[in-house]
Amino acid sequence: MALFLGISRLLFRSVKDLSFQTAKIHRVKGKWATTRPKHLPTRLALQHFDATYSVQLGQLWPSVRVALLSERKYGALFNNFSNNPDLEKLQAQGCGDFISNGEDPTSSEHNSEFGAEEDSSSVSTVSSHVDRQQQSPLWLSPNIKCLVFPRGDITRFKPARPDKFNLLSYYLMDAASVLPCLALGVQKNHTVLDLCAAPGGKALALLQTQSVRFLCVNDSSVSRTSRLKRVLHSYIPKPLLTDDKLRITSFDGTMWGEIERNSFDRVLVDVPCTTDRHSLMEDDNNIFSRSRVGERRSLPQLQVELLLAGIIAACPGGEILYSTCTLSLNQNQGVVERAIQLAEENHGIQLQVVSLRPLVKKFRNTFHFAPDLHLGEMVIPHLAANFGPIYLCKLRRLT
């Protein structure tokens, strides 16, 4: 009996020792497993933006910063090719089409806010390479509809439903992303190139105009091009996706000038950028990852090459719209200035900056625009209208 008790005590002590060691091992592994990286990409992005944008935007940066770190607001790009009655339902919920509800840009009250400023800013300060900015009338396609909830209303859109032909009724995107398509001013029988088209929202908006005779959509990434194709097939009827109306390619956009020169009436160059919102909110696929430092630093050069390729692809008299979703001065005005200079020096192409002030005037009740930009226009995030950032600048090839 004494022997049995002794063995029992020994086994119990061994089990206790083993459980203690096992718990300790698990405790160490758990600590290792939950240790967060010291340099999260989102944290690095915020540090970079604080250092850069606080100087660039000055007193505007604190409010822009709060908006960027808050939930973004979406718009619903309505699909004219769908037979789904979601438009009426969305309007009943308080949504409105910001395009048709915009202000009249020719109204006299425009002068009270923009008049003196517009006279002084109409002459570009880029360099001698840019002629006087062209004050062109604003032409908007009557067929593009993008519904948004009123300012301050953060209601979310429900996912779009397919109609009987399996076409979705609307595409959710940042409503400010529609502005480059509107500013491009596509008119009947135009040929259009969307040089960096994925994921496809802007290509969809261009097709909604129902004015494009031929649309070429390109993206250098094969995987992103596959996603682009899926988006188009989810919204556009098959008869409109034939080769004589639409071409989808996956070429290096910087080389497009060697593929097709002087070919398109309108060119959209929506370049890869730091994508400020994504960089602050998502660690996955973040340009501020330590492994992507070189890629991020080379972005302005890539953007210049893409814009220059788009300029060469446009026909004389054609127009080019450059856009990004970053606040960065180096990726916005800096890229446009450099591309204008290289177009003249290396290719003998003269360009004119087309003023987008009428666009700002028409949509200033929907978006918050940055003041006093010497080149182009920019939607900046604001809590009451949390769209953007979107930068856009329009150029015209002179004949």
Residues listed for the chain: 399
**Does the annotation flag 385 for ligand binding?**
no
**Does the annotation flag 201 for ligand binding?**
yes
Q: Retrieve residue 282's tokens.
A: 């998502």
**Does the annotation flag 94 for ligand binding?**
no
**Does the annotation flag 252 for ligand binding?**
yes
CB 77 within 8 A of CB 207: no
CB 167 within 8 A of CB 237: yes
Using alpha carbons, select from 340, 350, 190, 189 the residue that is nearest to residue 264. Answer: 190
**Does the annotation flag 202 for ligand binding?**
yes
CB 272 within 8 A of CB 244: no
**Does the annotation flag 265 for ligand binding?**
no
Using alpha carbons, select from 361, 387, 392 the residue that is nearest to residue 376. Answer: 392
CB 95 within 8 A of CB 149: yes
Residue with tokens 């091009």: 225
CB 353 within 8 A of CB 136: no
**Does the annotation flag 176 for ligand binding?**
no
381-386's contacts with Cβ under 8 Å and 24+ in sequence apart are 381/64, 381/67, 381/68, 381/72, 381/277, 382/63, 382/64, 382/67, 383/63, 383/66, 383/67, 383/70, 384/151, 384/152, 385/73, 385/151, 386/67, 386/70, 386/71, 386/72, 386/73, 386/154
Instruction: Point out the residues that are catalytic.
Output: 325
How far out from the chain centre does Cα 152 lie? 22
CB 375 within 8 A of CB 361: no
Using alpha carbons, select from 399, 372, 351 the residue that is nearest to residue 134. Answer: 351
**Does the annotation flag 203 for ligand binding?**
no
Q: Using DSSP, state whether 276 is helix, strand or coil.
A: helix
Using alpha carbons, select from 40, 36, 38, 34 the residue that is nearest to residue 279. Answer: 40
- Peptide linkage before 389 cis (omega within 30 of 0): yes
**Does the annotation flag 116 for ligand binding?**
no
**Does the annotation flag 180 for ligand binding?**
no
Residue numbering of the annotated binding site for S-adenosyl-L-methionine: 196-202, 219, 252, 270
Binding site, by residue number, is 196-202, 219, 252, 270
